[in-house]
Chains A and B, each alone.
Chain A
């Protein structure tokens, strides 16, 4: 009996406290892997969200209330679920931002869905995140599908004309590491490639921790492949580029799919002269034509002021753009009820070229941002610069050397 009384008293006190706070601030969850092996880019993603919140708060907050972030550490899938529960039931957040790692997002958003609390995915790329048709999940960033689509588009629109070949005449070889990341991107490359009339001569999977890709290289060489699509992590990107060079296999273009191809240590390991000219598709990065990414410079300034270093990857930028779009939309609404949030998000209609990442924001089917897109990048003189689409290009694409 007395325990029950205690509970009631605690609940009443909590309610009072919550009510007291509500006038001044509104709380959102920030669920990222802050420890464990994904911590580096999890933290990097969180910084983007934090800067968006700082910026919004400096301009009067959302609906006059200060936005407060409550961090949750999604170190693995189970903890992602546990932390999502804690944020929703104990911290009573109005919504959750996350998550960088797709598997954590898939696990945690399930909890939010059951509680009817909005979940905003700003960085996970897996198809399943929005593919499950959840009612309370929105995703602002581009996906694995956008990556496959952009790579094919880049071949048809830029590479083939650049080397004076008809896109249909180019022999395409798709190779990918065999986990869900490589397999799903390769699947989209194949599908969009066939739609665009590309001649895909082979699709091959291999384990990412392999120590030898020489047979694969010889096979591609024998098939006279002109363009290689590789979706890979670091180890296999390095091996492929080195062994292709050693077997004297020189395709007209090699296009990576994020992962290992986006990381500076890969370029350092392979050698800057060897990786020169290699193409890639990924989130918007910093060496881009800033006319097509309004606000990017301001973001970098704010980032450097807050953390004392240059952003370590494009993850923070993409989280910043997504979070800002959502918080700005909420500012127009009245209250933070899930239904109100849903209505406010449905009204977002930002055209292409008006966010700091270059893409627009409009939620379409399954609450996926249908205006999100990746960018085409190229390693030039040891740096990863944006080369496609042309209006976003930092430097012209170098072909046929």
Chain B
């Protein structure tokens, strides 16, 4: 029983990790509707920035978020403005996908050139301390990630629902042409949304880096999980992404323990496929938005 509780707790903590990495992608994938394969590399870059700032300035890794999130915002906005936007009206929108695949590979190899293949480890600064909560133990850093992911989801939800810009973002997501007719600067909204999405990854990176070693391929594992989480939750649904992340985290942890670590991906993606077959729009997606927006 004790082990079961520990496995479930590990699953929830893993879910928190997946959630915080995926929230940014919900905005980019769910709203700008760009399949951004470089999402994982944004995380990797954010983790390296955290590493460099935390070791270079000798500050707590969490403090680096003040620089990392804005830098990632700029990176995301630049990507949208100078890479995706020129391709928005390409004859075939799949061109964008290949552009982000190219960006992903380029960034990964750039990191390889700059940092080498060795791991970089951000100082844990006490975040790897175990907290005992009843019969289970969790790491301080994991607990922080879990709480911040909830706060981020609630915050973004509020932003999208209640603010003028948030409404504009949702309007663009629902129907790009109609939004433009209503006087919304669509290109600007895209740049902004892409930037916010990337900034969320920057926040995630500062929290994740002290717990996990950073290397040029760090993003590859997360990017696939992030797409799964976003699709599972329902495109553009931020709360859905959170629930999706928890489900994936729990299945990952439970199957890893009860079925075997070699089969955990089979279990995760098996359940993912099953849910999609039963509910093609994802858990919280109302309906496919693809036919509304060109």
Contact = CB atoms under 8 A, between A and B. Distances in A.
A265 B116 CA distance: 12
Interface residues of B, number: 35
B188 interface: no
Interface string B254-290: 1111001110110000000000000000000000000
B62 interface: no
Interface stretch (B6-14, B68-76, B150-158, B166-174): B6-14
B252 A218 contact: no
A391 B278 CA distance: 65
A206 B262 contact: yes
Contact of B265 (A207, A219, A235): A207
B6 A218 contact: yes
B215 A218 contact: no
A216 B261 contact: yes
Contacts of B213: 234-235, 238-239, 269
Contacts of A178: 262
A246 B119 contact: no
B43 to A, nearest CB: 11
A218 B7 contact: yes
Contact of A214 (B10, B112, B128, B262): B10
A265 B118 contact: yes
Given A206-B262, A209-B217, A218-B3, A246 B257 contact: no
Nearest to A214: B10
A82 B257 CA distance: 46
A268 B117 CA distance: 15
A263 interface: yes
Contact of B220 (A206, A209, A222, A266): A209
Contact of A204 (B10, B255, B261): B261
B222 A268 contact: no
Interface in B222-258: 222, 252-257
Given A204-B260, A211-B212, A212-B10, A266 B119 contact: yes
B217 A204 contact: no
Given A206-B262, A210-B221, A214-B10, A265 B256 contact: no
A205 interface: yes
Given A211-B222, A216-B256, A269 B261 contact: no
A238 B213 CA distance: 8
Contacts of A210: 221
B7 A215 contact: yes
B118 A246 contact: no
Contacts of A219: 256-257, 261
Contact of B253 (A207, A215, A239, A263): A215
Query: DSSP class of A's interface residues: helix, strand, loop or mixed?
Result: helix
A101 to B, nearest CB: 13
A242 to B, nearest CB: 7
Contact of B17 (A211, A222, A239): A211
Given A216-B256, A219-B257, A246-B130, A209 B119 contact: no
A209 B221 contact: yes
A263 B261 contact: no
Interface string B1-30: 001001100100010010000000000000
Contacts of B139: 246
A269 B128 contact: no
Contacts of B218: 209, 235
A290 B253 CA distance: 47
Nearest to A202: B260
A265 B130 CA distance: 24
A11 interface: no
A204 B217 CA distance: 23
B94 interface: no
Contacts of A218: 3, 6-7, 10, 257
A40 B117 contact: yes
Which 8 A-B residue pairings sit nearest by Cβ, starting from the closest? A215-B256, A269-B121, A215-B257, A205-B262, A209-B221, A214-B10, A206-B261, A216-B261
Interface of A: 37, 40, 175, 178, 204-207, 209-216, 218-219, 222, 234-235, 238-239, 242, 246-247, 263, 265-266, 268-269
16 contacts: A178-B262, A205-B262, A209-B218, A209-B220, A210-B221, A212-B14, A212-B253, A214-B253, A215-B255, A215-B261, A218-B257, A234-B215, A235-B213, A238-B213, A246-B128, A269-B119
